[in-house]
Amino acid sequence: MVFPAGTEIAFEIHHALRYSKFVDLYGAGSVPDHGEFVFRTCTDDIPFVNEPGFVEKLNQVIDRLHIDYVYPAHDSACLALVREQQRLHAPVVSSPLETVEICRSKNATYRHLEGAEYLPRFYEGPEAVEEYPVFVKPSVGQGAQGARRIEDRAHLEEVLAEGVEYAICEYLPGPEFSVDCFTDRHGVLRFVSPRSRDRIKAGIAVRSHFLPEDERIDRIARDLNGRFKFNGAWFFQLKETAEGEYKLMEVSPRIAGTSGLTRNRGVNLPLLTLYNMWGYDVSIIDNHNQLLLDRAFISRFKSDISYDNVYVDFDDSIIMRGKVNLSLIAFLYQAQNQGKHVYMLTKHRGDIASELLRHNIAPGLFTRIIHLDMSESKVPHIKPASIFIDDSFAERKRIHDACGIPVFDLDMVESLMDWRA
């Protein structure tokens, strides 16, 4: 069970585990969110981690769904779950409590690492600041939320008066980047991979590429691995000084939201972490190829349309500009997997069997291929409880008016896809 199921971290865990034959995925959270479009089974009525009844309700769901492990997908959830591990009915996929508690607070992290050469200058209060500007961010927080540059003491005191505990450190003007790491079940650091944070939205790197191996980064990773007790995937963030020195921003004992870049080079950090939990020794394959990841908002849909049959056109629908329409063919296979009947209704000029063979489309995908003359109407061939997909507006209007069923242009097929696993 991934909890909470609606975070970018949860989606990366889902992407990483959905094809594993060893894993059945479930989602859980406290509010209806995007998790219900990602996880086939997603419970959304768990109390928040700081509310009464959180553990009791979560245990009810764990028992009902026979959950073997709970995979945290948020820093606060990770801390709450690990603190309650003795009361939970399933193990939490996490590093030990002491590590999670220290890493959850940036001030506690800085104090724990005091004396490390890669630690930025940090200050306990305004009176300790040696020079401005400084950089402040909530001591307990994630991403870049609440982070800001402070130019003078008056501004710093104004910010601190907000009542939030801030970490105050030297201002670092250089680029920021993340380092994905993996520590095996024996405590051995097995993997270190730096990547850029080229574009950031809501504290998450939405454009990222791999950076060259750097002994200085490896040295920091080894030192952190020695000062903390990690179990599986973790990451840290660095920023450069004006002189090009690396300084630590934060450490987190969890999956990073953008570690999908690392996964697509061959290193599946969520799955490797589960192998740790299962007591397996692991091998790691890294293709060492360069990749550029770029993310934007995507849309997922939930429709109240119910249907048993799909009727679909061929020319300029299944085949577009001489090539297979990948999004449409994916939906047709989804419909087949769901037990729907898929009918091709086509007025193709020529041998449709030869055309399917030329495009490597199996005729068995279709319950029936109905090949019509150009003058024939498609209307008499359509059964009730059906949907109709065709690029032609005229055909869609005729079917909609005559049969009273939902009709779809090609750009609408995305609303029929079910991406849950």
pLDDT at 147: 79
Mean pLDDT of 347-357: 95
Residue 142, pLDDT score: 62
Write the pLDDT tens digit of every residue in 246-267: 999 999 999 999 999 999 999 9
Band of pLDDT at residue 355, cut at 50, 70 and 90: very high
**What is the pLDDT averaged over residues 186-211?**
95
Residue 199's alpha-carbon distances to 105, 137, 205, in angstroms, are: 25, 19, 6
Record: fold of 2-94: Rossmann fold (3.40.50)
Rg of the chain, C-alpha, whole Å: 27
Per-residue burial over 385-421, b = 16 or more CB atoms within 10 Å of its CB, e = otherwise: ebbbbbbeeebbebbeeebebbbbebeebeebebebe
What are residue 317's phi and psi, to 5 degrees?
A: -130, -80
Tens of pLDDT along 111-140?
A: 999 999 999 988 888 888 888 999 888 888
Architecture label for domain 121-170: 2-Layer Sandwich (3.30)
Report the largest interatomic distance among the alpha carbons of the chain, rounded to a whole angstrom: 87
* 2-94 against 121-170: fold identical: no
pLDDT tens digits for 313-323?
999 999 999 99
Domain ranges of the chain: 2-94, 121-170, 176-294, 309-416
Provide mean pLDDT across the span 219-234.
98
Question: What count of other Cβ atoms lies within 10 Å of the Cβ of residue 154?
Answer: 10
What integer pLDDT is reported at residue 162 of this predicted model? Answer: 83
pLDDT, average across residues 350-361: 96
The mean of the pLDDT values for the chain is 95
Percent residues over pLDDT 90 in the chain: 86
Q: In the CATH hierarchy, which top-level class contains the domain 176-294? A: alpha beta
Parallel/antiparallel/unpaired status of strands 122-123 and 166-170: antiparallel
Q: What is the pLDDT of residues 35-72, one digit of tens each?
A: 999 999 999 999 999 999 999 999 999 999 999 999 99
pLDDT of amino acid 145: 65
What per-residue confidence (pLDDT) applies to 43? 97
Rounded distance, CA 214 to CA 256, Å?
20
Flag whether pLDDT at 143 surpasses 60: no
Stated pTM of the model: 0.90
The answer to whether the beta carbons of residues 204 and 143 sit under 8 Å apart is yes
Pairing verdict, β 2-3 and 71-72: parallel
Q: 309-416 belongs to which CATH class?
A: alpha beta
| pLDDT band, residue 17 (cuts 50/70/90) | very high
Q: What is the pLDDT of residue 105?
A: 93
Give yes or no for residue 141 having a pLDDT over 80: no
